Amino acid sequence: MTTLVPAESTRDQILKVVGLSFLLPGLGHVVAGWKRTGLIWMVVCQGMMFLGLQLAGFTQFDYGFSWGGSLPFEVIVLLPESFNFGGVLLFAQFFDSVDNGGVNVEALPYRQLGYLLSGMAGILGILSAPHAAGMTLTHSEPLPPSAKKPKCHPGVAAIAAMLFPGLGHFLIGRKFKAYLLGGTVLGLFVLGMAMGHFADFDRQRHAYYWIGQMLMGLPAWLVYLPLMPLNMGGVFPYQDTGFTFTSVAGMFNVVVALDAYHRAEFDWLDAKPKKEVESE
């Protein structure tokens, strides 16, 4: 099978913008010259992160790991928030969990909304990386006017796929894969939720599974708060399998999003005159 790959200079540029986007969402765009787009990513991701942390009294930090060590600042790793690495690092320097000050987390009425917002900010933060990579590809390797332009660039395909399973493939015209992969991921998630009586999606009770569950994108984010009133009143026979299904469904969604990115990248390179493209 022939795989089309971007030119080496483009790959180097993509590596740079992806690394910078991981450090601070939007930074990759700014350094590459798309200042306005980069600033929008920064404001949205950091604004949402701060609002989420504030609403939950910064108790998200209680779920993470911190290293002081010999560094002059504290490094906190907290998933999924740390996908927005710079934002978490910055806020951790100035704020501490109210739990350490003796406030009971149950007394914070909007903590679950805060968890949701900060988790979304982390996932949106990492999505700035494929967006910057896609923009780099399309600007570094533009298509001639005569070429048939793909429906969307790889970054948009990856973001769409992460936000709703299968949507990325749908946008790039691979409807069979969209229905198959999207249906599989969504089906696994819903089945897992049903096995936990729809009460197994809660950060306070299952913080580690919650990381994977949040990777499901909008289908999970939209049901998180409405499902909060449901309580696990007992031990269900297949609840552990349900946790696994829902969490792994989110991880599968990441694989599906990566595939959407690469197929869209292939389409872009395939539309170029062949002599300009490297192949492996």
**Footprint on this chain of another protein (rule: CB under 8 A):** 174, 176-177, 180-181, 184-185, 187-188, 191, 237-238, 241, 244-245, 248-249, 252, 255-256, 258-259, 263
202 or 259, CB closer to another protein? 259
User: How far apart, in whole angstroms, are the C-alpha atoms of residue 209 and residue 91?
Assistant: 24
Shortest reach from residue 149's CB to another protein, in Å:
20
Query: Cis ω on the peptide bond leading into residue 80 (within 30° of 0)?
Result: yes
110 vs 236, beta carbon nearer another protein = 236
In the bound state with another protein, the residue whose beta carbon lies nearer, of 64 and 173, is 173
Residue whose CB is less far from another protein, 233 or 237: 237
User: Which CB sits closer to another protein, 92 or 248?
Assistant: 248
Backbone angles phi, psi at 72, to 5 degrees: -75, -5
Q: Identify whether the C-beta of residue 59 lies closer than 8 Å to the C-beta of residue 103.
A: no
In the bound state with another protein, the residue whose beta carbon lies nearer, of 35 and 151, is 151
Tell me the residue length of the chain: 280
Q: What is the CA radius of gyration of the chain?
A: 20
Nearest approach, Cβ of residue 171 and another protein (Å): 15
User: Could you write out the DSSP letters of every residue in 19-81?
Assistant: HHHHHSTTHHHHHHT-HHHHHHHHHHHHHHHHHHHHHTTTGGGGGSEEE-TTSSS-EEE-TTG
The whole-angstrom separation of Cα 50 and Cα 84 is 11
Question: C-beta of 142: minimal distance to another protein in Å?
Answer: 24
Q: What angle do CA 87, 93, 98 make, to 5 degrees?
A: 100
| Residue 65: CB minimum distance to another protein, A | 29
- CA–CA separation, 163 and 221 (whole Å): 9
Q: Least CB distance from residue 271 to another protein, whole Å?
A: 16
Residue at 83: amino acid letter: F
- Least Å distance between CB 183 and another protein? 9
CB of 191 to another protein, least distance (A): 7
- Cβ 181 to another protein, closest distance in Å? 5
Distances (CA, A) of 23 to 33, 50, 90, 122, 178: 17, 17, 11, 12, 31
Nearer to another protein, 3 or 9 (CB): 3
Tell me whether residue 184 or residue 204 sits nearer to another protein (CB atom).
184
Please report which residue ranges of 164-230 form alpha helices under DSSP H.
Answer: 167-171, 175-195, 207-214, 218-224
How many whole angstroms separate alpha carbon 30 and alpha carbon 208?
33
